[in-house]
Chain A
Amino acid sequence: MPEEADPLIRILPSALAETQGDGPFVAIVRSREELCRWLSNPLPGLRWLQVEGMLGDQEAWTEAAHSDSNIPLDVVLSNPASEFSHLYRLVDACAVHAIRVTMPAAPGLTKAIRLAAALRLPVRVLPGQPSAAALSELHDALQFYLHEPMVDAPVEFFHSVLASICDWDAGSLWTILEEDPDAFRHYDADGRPKLPRTSDPDQSEITAAGFAENHLSHLIAQGAECATCPWQRPCSGYFKWPDPAYSCEGVKLLFFNIQTAANEIRQDLASVATADTGILSEPREAAR
């Protein structure tokens, strides 16, 4: 969601966010009252609102559509299977706010992505360490993203991994998914920093710089499959967290499919480049 590199964005519950100064932060809102309060009075450092558990609240979205502020919104679906059709509630608010939807890799993911794409909403999928069922959804969703011509808004992480593999440096999954503590630091209700997807973190791991790099180095030192993984750069051990024993067999197939699409794009670009070279050099060629 951020458009430029920031030193550190704090992501914290609404009540804590209200005490923030001018530094960049994201407020997590979980009620209509919190949403309306931030929309009517956004603090200077507020980058966007992370809206949780409110997709079904029609009144909240009516309020958002009528707000004076155009603060971007990241709308989180916790259960895509039961919530996907509520995405229609965002239509009015989209005219006022940049809206992204975030969802876990879970049953109903493909439905939610299909509808989000039809409404031209960018999507962030948080894969975590996907189960077999979640992997199946991810594969379907990836095929839809890669090959459905009607898709024109990005679906993360597919979009940035594809860019990364195509040599447009989009960073690793940690930054793409806004889970790198060096760039996006998450806080719990008590104001303690926390690591993604784990409830009992070693605080020294969080506050020390280079969490993602240290994690990957540690995995390699422990003999994890990351050492020889062809997708080590875009992944950086993302799928080995928090359980380093997680088998990456299924996610490697995802990367392989993205790699295949990237190769096709490269071939297309090369053929266009050849055509351009031909056009540029044609007067000389013709004169020969």
Chain B
Amino acid sequence: MSERVFSVILLPTSDCNVACEYCFEHKEPLRLSLVLVPLLTRRLLDHIENEHIEECEIYWQGGEVMIMGPAWFEKAGEIMDRAAAERGRRFVHYLQTNLIGYSPAWNGVIRGMFNGSLGTSMDYPNIHRKLFNGSAAAYTELWSRKLHEAKAAGIALGVIAVLHKGSLEVGPERFYRYFTEELGLSDFQVNTPFPGGPAKEVEGGFQLDSSELAEFMVGLFDIWMAEGYSSGVSVGPFNALIDHFTGEQARLPCIWKENCSNQFISVDAKGSVAQCDCWVTSYPEYFFGNMFRDPNLTGMLKTSRARRDFIERPKRLMEDEDCLSCRYLSICHGGCPVRTYSALGTMMAKDPYCEVYKAVFACAEAHAGEILRARAAPIISLRERHKAVGSCVVA
């Protein structure tokens, strides 16, 4: 059995209960019917069997997943897990939600199906996340209340923050303190923004200046290293980079994989299959096929012309871009196809955030060097003391 992990970003609905300004998803009031879950499950199990993979990670997100309700998840999880067990396979479920629809009624399914944890998202300052009939401030107030309720119920929470111009203006220190002190979180992740949506309708406002973004990221990295690293605060992707540069096993984010095409797919409520949630919600020209129409997912992935671009991309970057001479090639491989496509209208170029990534990698490398030196310090210290004793004796 292969040790490879296969992940599916599963969108049971593209409907949403909030009105975030920067959302690029095409919202439809469509929901995945429970009647289709056994078919979806069979297709996925057939595929991981073909691939000799034992475990499949399911990342449930939307739209907004909590629109489906806890009873729907209980039933869907039961159908999927039972079918997997019958075939000697396993699904591991993760939940990514905006938390707005959270109530104690979810606690049972979160503990049972999602191992007592969930992922949510919030920005600082929150300017763009809004309720349908409310301000960003009202969204923040409601979300914070739900966050504290979930924490009080013993649920482990990780938060994704998307950076925007306002984040850069308040600076990394206030940003860090908001998540760690004001919200009391010990696990959050920062994502770089991208305009999303049709490639010709670029929303330039969400494209940040690379040097300003790099400065912010490095500043945040420094604060986390000084205050959070040794006290158990996890900030992604910095923690994975520190693992990498200190020689530990690291799970780097998907944007820096050798080739994301072999790692995961995304499936929406209509059965559309694409590379990830960003593609399945925004770029129908890059759909690989349809899970409910094509009986063979493995065959679909092998023969899809759209998917071939993803497979060919890193090869093309090595030939056409300067990635090969970059000292960080082994942990970047040209970056994220969707960030590139949404900014440039083609994925056959390196990630527009290249300079940001390089600054973050260099920062991680320097901090990891300090960690390794600190680990060796007891030996060096003893050696220095030995030398001192030796010179005293000689004297």
Are B258 and A279 in contact, CB atoms less than 8 angstroms apart? no
Bound-state CA distance A86–B319 (Å) is: 10
Are B383 and A278 in contact, CB atoms less than 8 angstroms apart? yes
Are A279 and B333 in contact, CB atoms less than 8 angstroms apart? no
Binary A-proximity of B186-198 (CB < 8 A = 1, otherwise 0): 0000000000000
B2 in complex: contacting residue of A95, A115, A288, CB < 8 Å: A95
Q: A85-B315, A95-B3 are in contact. Are A282 and B324 (CB under 8 A)?
A: no
Residue numbers in B under 8 Å from A118 (CB-CB): 329-330, 333
Are A91 and B258 in contact, CB atoms less than 8 angstroms apart? yes
Taking each of A84, A92, A276, which has the highest tally of chain B beta carbons within 10 Å of its own beta carbon?
A92
Interface residue A120 (Cβ < 8 Å from any Cβ of B): yes
Residue numbers in A under 8 Å from B26 (CB-CB): none
Bound-state CA distance A58–B302 (Å) is: 10
- B:94-117 near A, CB below 8 Å: none
Taking each of A88, A117, A120, A275, which has the highest tally of chain B beta carbons within 10 Å of its own beta carbon?
A88
Interface residue B393 (Cβ < 8 Å from any Cβ of A): yes
Binds A, one of B124-132, B272-280, B340-348, B384-392: B384-392
Are A279 and B383 in contact, CB atoms less than 8 angstroms apart? yes
With CB as the reference atom, state the residue of chain B lying closest to A150: B330
Bound-state CA distance A15–B328 (Å) is: 43
- A:254-288 near B, CB below 8 Å: 274-276, 278-279, 281-282, 285-286, 288
Taking each of A68, A95, A117, A149, which has the highest tally of chain B beta carbons within 10 Å of its own beta carbon?
A95
Residue numbers in B under 8 Å from A149 (CB-CB): 327
Residue numbers in B under 8 Å from A274 (CB-CB): 383
Binary B-proximity of A37-74 (CB < 8 A = 1, otherwise 0): 00000000000000000000010001001101000000
Residue numbers in B under 8 Å from A215 (CB-CB): none
Are A88 and B258 in contact, CB atoms less than 8 angstroms apart? yes
Residue numbers in A under 8 Å from B385 (CB-CB): 282
A residues contacting the other copy or chain, number (CB 8 A): 34
Bound-state CA distance A149–B262 (Å) is: 27
A115 in complex: contacting residue of B3, B50, B318, B328, CB < 8 Å: B318
Bound-state CA distance A278–B389 (Å) is: 10
Taking the closest CB of chain A, its distance from the CB of B294, in whole angstroms, is 17
Interface residue B34 (Cβ < 8 Å from any Cβ of A): no
Binary A-proximity of B24-56 (CB < 8 A = 1, otherwise 0): 000000000000000000000000001110000
With CB as the reference atom, state the residue of chain B lying closest to A82: B319
Bound-state CA distance A68–B383 (Å) is: 52
B residues contacting the other copy or chain, number (CB 8 A): 33
Bound-state CA distance A117–B333 (Å) is: 12
Bound-state CA distance A86–B382 (Å) is: 50
Are B315 and A62 in contact, CB atoms less than 8 angstroms apart? no
- B:63-100 near A, CB below 8 Å: none
Interface residue B379 (Cβ < 8 Å from any Cβ of A): yes
Interface residue B4 (Cβ < 8 Å from any Cβ of A): yes
Interface residue A96 (Cβ < 8 Å from any Cβ of B): yes
With CB as the reference atom, state the residue of chain A lying closest to B53: A95
Q: A85-B315, A118-B333 are in contact. Are A279 and B324 (CB under 8 A)?
A: no
Taking the closest CB of chain A, its distance from the CB of B157, in whole angstroms, is 32
Taking the closest CB of chain A, its distance from the CB of B260, in whole angstroms, is 11
Q: Which residues of B line the A interface, CB within 8 A?
A: 2-4, 50-52, 258-259, 262, 302, 311, 314-316, 318-319, 324-325, 327-330, 333, 379-380, 382-383, 385-387, 389-390, 393
Q: Which residues of A line the B interface, CB within 8 A?
A: 58, 62, 65-66, 68, 84-86, 88-89, 91-92, 95-96, 111, 114-115, 117-120, 148-150, 274-276, 278-279, 281-282, 285-286, 288
> A66-B52, A88-B258, A88-B314 are known contacts; what are 7 more A-B pairs with Cβ within 8 Å?
A85-B318, A89-B315, A95-B2, A118-B329, A150-B328, A275-B386, A282-B385
| 11 A-B contact pairs sorted by A residue (CB < 8 Å) | A65-B262, A88-B258, A91-B258, A91-B259, A95-B4, A274-B383, A278-B382, A278-B383, A278-B386, A281-B386, A285-B390
